[in-house]
Structure 1
Amino acid sequence: MTSLVWFRRDLRLFDHAALYHALKASREVIAVFIFDTAILNGLSKEDRRVAFIWHSLQQLKAALIEQGSDLLIRHGSASNEIPRLAKEFKAAAVYCNHDYEPEAIARDLSVAEQLATNNCHFYSFKDQVIFEKDEVLSKTGNMYSVFTPYKRAWLEKINDFYLKSYSTHPYLNHLAPLKSEAMPALAKLGFDKVDVSNLKPGMDGGKALFDDFCQRIHSYHEARNFPAVKGVSYLSVHLRFGTVSIRELAKRAWQTGGAGAETWLSELIWREFYQQILWHRPEVVRHAFKPEYDTLPFPNNIEHFAAWCEGRTGFPIVDSAMRQLNQTGFMHNRLRMIAASFLVKDLLIDWRWGERYFAEKLNDFDLAANNGGWQWAASTGCDAQPYFRIFNPITQSERFDPQGQFIRRYCPELAALSDKEIHAPWLGRTILGQKASYDYPEPIVDHTVQRLAALALFKRT
């Protein structure tokens, strides 16, 4: 029989669950990808993620052509294009990997129903996580809402079986022989060319970054919180679009051991923790996980929000973080926590405003992780930061960027300040009211005052 494999957030030819099962079960397999207008129509023309996907597809397509096949790329509504392609090629089945986001689940249900009318089966498999849905539950059969016991249960369950690769290469001869088609240009898709070479797109890019990180993994636990240091893996965008295999990454961390590898594995488990929360509680997309915090009366000062978005709050660590995001589409994880806490607890702006902004800007935007991280910072989510624990942006800056190296990179107007002054420039002036010799804004709020206001907002003073 002929089958289609629908590539989505799994842009690789190796260790691919849906591709593996399709190749083993089918006489001929046709690989397809849809530039889904239901998603693309809401993005800006300069969106880096589309460029990353495009370049990654270029590599995937080349790999399939080497096998005598090709990657069929279409532009339109996936809900229409997949059933149309299945009918065109008289496919008996469509294979893909699970997507856990509510809109994706609804889309897949619609596709499956349309395929069924033409006697075409729809098969979906676990691929982007080690454990999904309800595979890790408490002893009472409930979902975990606190990370530490979830992590403990995750580690108790993990073994070689769950980390085993789906070896596709022995079956690649089942790929359908296809005449190569030209890739649609980014401009034809409605997007501008954007340089994403620093993200190292595609399978080769993911492998290069992973190999590099493996040389540094032993010190991850010590270096990961310092944004001026090359301490993190930089693999998040590759995990998001599946140019790397989560099984390969988790297996390396699990087998390597030691403080660095164990800490990184813990971060991978956090990713799955938020995925299972989204699957069990899809309402968190628009609502607080803790219902009592769903309608907090945030003042939502629009001018303060604009200052935060543009990196001109007067707090250097926050502004440098936001400028990094705006300029590169990346933000260091420690800075994500600082920036989120500042928006909610200092500026008293609804976490959903910040969540949406990150969703627009982050190269590695993942609904589950973004939502979970923001609700953690806002004290509205599962395993949340307690409402009374409010990050002080000055002490966070002094601790995690002690010499101001990161601040100087993104706030160059402050470069001449001393390592001590750069964290709170307004405190370094010797004469009250002295005009600064650099073009940098005054703080838009007083942290001490806003801390008390945040406690009052949460009605816990």
Structure 2
Amino acid sequence: MSQTRPTVSPSIVWFRDDLRITDQPALRAAMDTGATIALYVLDEESPGIRPLGGAARWWLHHALAALRVELDQIGVPLILRRGAAGAVVPAFAAECGAGALFWNRRYGGGERRADAAVKEAVRSTGIRAQSFQASLLHEPWELTNRQGGPYKVFTPFWKELSSHDFRRPLPTPDRQQAPDGVPRSDRLEQWGLLPGVPDWSKPLGEAWAPGPRAGHELLEEFVDDALAGYSEDRDRPGRAGTSRLSPYLRWGHVSPFEVWHEVGRRRREASAGSAAFASELGWREFAWHQLYHHPDLATVNLRREFDAYPWWRPGGGGDQAGLLGHWQRGTTGFPLVDAGQRELWATGWMHNRVRMVSASLLVKNLGIDWRLGEQWFWDTLVDADGASNAFNWQWAAGCGADASPFFRIFNPLTQEKTHDPEGEYTRLWIPELGSPDYPEPCVDLRESREIALAAFRSLPKGRP
């Protein structure tokens, strides 16, 4: 590509976790000012920004390829660069002779610091810099409890949030004249986002089509076919009762505003299902609310008395290392958990009910630190984001905000009978189920439950 400096100052739209062109306020603002260049920076260097897991890197590769096609259709070139955003973005703006820089806000601690550094750097050179709300229905600092602090309990948070009106989705911008003198771009293949040898990603490609088109098709199918029965079917992993929209929301292929209003369109005819699904959107918002106020959510117990809980970590002795391996591979001897772990490895996704049961087994019956489970999900989930993954693991472990009571220890055998009574889900993922090749349970459920409860009772008193 030509590296000639443009004669008219273009605007830059900096993409991050918002890989779409519809309901894209930063993109619209940029295009309203004139010629626009899109930038994506693979930032694995800025302090506090967590490197992506393997499944997420696979998704990102295909998501960027899909974004480039969509942007080409409206005359916006996509430029790829790699490095710390605080250095790369201002340098790119200077290289383009840009007059303005637009982006949609992020809410993790490291991301906010990186964005603030970019804003300060470009404004110091006279470039206009503006950010927008796009990935959440609410700004986390705008909702406070009666004491003026962040919400710690979901029900009042959701009552307050759901009482608000949310803007309508923005339309796709009209095609523009492509800017002159487009800077060079990295080649996507240079980034090495796809796995090498062995290539474990083929099942992911069979399960998912990253990009806005597939996300909107999935949303439409869910609203038409499954929303009415969502409140009953969402806990049955053998049924197509969930939306499977989580990776499309995580990567911004569909916006929460699009989902909210599409579900609302069917609220009367699917009232129970739409209300239940809306609350799940609220749970996602609650997770980001917590991350904004607790940037170390992935590493630090929100309930600090759990710092004294004797969870096993590497180097702690015992046979938990072997148990962790059985859990990761789906060979614990508990069919519902094993089916979930195998679904996760094959598809980069796990049914939500099974996620809860699997997490409960790891942290309570196997006595393994929730952070090891969180890290495994971070590496293997296509929908792992900085808020929901850590927040839900803390919920399952009993140490998070509005967490499941610690004594609520899911029995994986009872859960299987309740939520997969015909065995459709377990048979799908465990072909050897019922044969001598399937392992015996790796832990005694009753004994391990008593050990966990005794450890919990030993924690410092005065729990909040």
> What's the TM-score once normalised by structure 2's chain length?
0.87
Distance (whole Å) between structure 2 residues aligned to residue 384 and residue 183 of structure 1: 44
Which amino acid in 2 is paired with 1:125? F
User: Which SS does the other structure have where 2:82 is aligned?
Assistant: strand
Alpha-carbon displacement from aligned partner over 1:103-125 (angstroms, at most 9, x marks no partner): 21122122223323423233221
Matches within 5 A, 1:218-297: 218-257=228-267, 258-297=271-310
2:36 is aligned, of 29, 45, 50, to 29
User: Does 1 or 2 have the higher relative contact order (CA < 8 Å, sep 6+)?
Assistant: 2
Which amino acid in 1 is paired with 2:29? H
Alpha-carbon displacement from aligned partner over 1:376-416 (angstroms, at most 9, x marks no partner): 111101111111111111100111111111111111101xx
Distance 1:181 1:350, change over 3 A: same
Matching residue of 1:427 = none
Matching residue of 1:191 = 194
Which amino acid in 2 is paired with 1:151? W
Q: Residue 70 of structure 1 contacts residue 179 of structure 1 at CA under 8 Å; is this kept in 2?
A: yes
Gaps of 5+ in 1: 418-436
Matching residue of 1:139 = 146
Alpha-carbon displacement from aligned partner over 1:229-259 (angstroms, at most 9, x marks no partner): 1111111101001111210101122342201
User: Which SS does the other structure have where 1:72 is aligned?
Assistant: strand
Matching residue of 1:101 = 108
Distance 1:389 1:43, change over 3 A: closer
Distance (whole Å) between structure 1 residues aligned to residue 78 and residue 280 of structure 2: 33
Alpha-carbon displacement from aligned partner over 1:48-101 (angstroms, at most 9, x marks no partner): 322322222222222222233311122333333211210111112221111111
Matching residue of 2:375 = 356
Alpha-carbon displacement from aligned partner over 1:304-337 (angstroms, at most 9, x marks no partner): 1111111111111111111111121111100110
Are 1:388 and 2:380 counterparts? no
Matching residue of 2:462 = none
Distance (whole Å) between structure 1 residues aligned to residue 52 and residue 159 of structure 2: 39
Number of equivalenced pairs = 433
Distance 1:234 1:78, change over 3 A: same
User: Which SS does the other structure have where 2:387 is aligned?
Assistant: helix
2:339 is aligned, of 305, 320, 323, to 320
Matching residue of 2:179 = 176
Distance (whole Å) between structure 1 residues aligned to residue 183 and residue 311 of structure 2: 55
Distance (whole Å) between structure 2 residues aligned to residue 299 and residue 67 of structure 1: 53
Matching residue of 1:201 = 210
Matching residue of 1:214 = 223
Which amino acid in 2 is paired with 1:290? R
Identity of aligned residues (%): 35
Q: Residue 207 of structure 2 contacts residue 347 of structure 2 at CA under 8 Å; is this kept in 1?
A: no
Are 1:130 and 2:137 counterparts? yes
1:7 is aligned, of 2, 15, 21, to 15
Q: Which protein is richer in helix relative to its size? A: 1
Matches within 5 A, 1:409-428: 409-414=428-433, 417=434
Q: Residue 36 of structure 2 contacts residue 76 of structure 2 at CA under 8 Å; is this kept in 1?
A: no
Gaps of 5+ in 2: 1-8, 314-319, 460-464
RMSD between aligned residues: 2.3
Distance (whole Å) between structure 2 residues aligned to residue 81 and residue 233 of structure 1: 37
Q: Residue 250 of structure 2 contacts residue 385 of structure 2 at CA under 8 Å; is this kept in 1?
A: yes
Report how far residue 456 of structure 1 moved: 0.7
Q: Residue 294 of structure 1 contacts residue 380 of structure 1 at CA under 8 Å; is this kept in 2?
A: no
Distance (whole Å) between structure 2 residues aligned to residue 374 and residue 445 of structure 1: 21
Distance (whole Å) between structure 1 residues aligned to residue 113 and residue 36 of structure 2: 25
Distance (whole Å) between structure 1 residues aligned to residue 366 and residue 373 of structure 2: 11
Matching residue of 2:91 = 84
Report how far residue 177 of structure 1 moved: 5.2
Distance (whole Å) between structure 2 residues aligned to residue 229 and residue 82 of structure 1: 45
Distance (whole Å) between structure 1 residues aligned to residue 296 and residue 57 of structure 2: 27
Moved more, 333-342 or 294-303: 294-303
Distance (whole Å) between structure 1 residues aligned to residue 343 and residue 150 of structure 2: 36
Distance 1:178 1:337, change over 3 A: farther
Distance 1:299 1:206, change over 3 A: closer
Report how far residue 181 of structure 1 moved: 7.4
1:166 is aligned, of 143, 151, 170, to 170
Report how far residue 41 of structure 1 moved: 9.9
Q: Residue 69 of structure 1 contacts residue 177 of structure 1 at CA under 8 Å; is this kept in 2?
A: no
Distance 1:165 1:460, change over 3 A: same
User: Which SS does the other structure have where 1:284 is aligned?
Assistant: coil
Distance (whole Å) between structure 2 residues aligned to residue 197 and residue 83 of structure 1: 39
Distance (whole Å) between structure 2 residues aligned to residue 43 and residue 276 of structure 1: 21
Matching residue of 1:404 = 423
Q: Residue 315 of structure 1 contacts residue 393 of structure 1 at CA under 8 Å; is this kept in 2?
A: yes
Distance (whole Å) between structure 2 residues aligned to residue 73 and residue 408 of structure 1: 43
Q: Residue 310 of structure 1 contacts residue 322 of structure 1 at CA under 8 Å; is this kept in 2?
A: yes
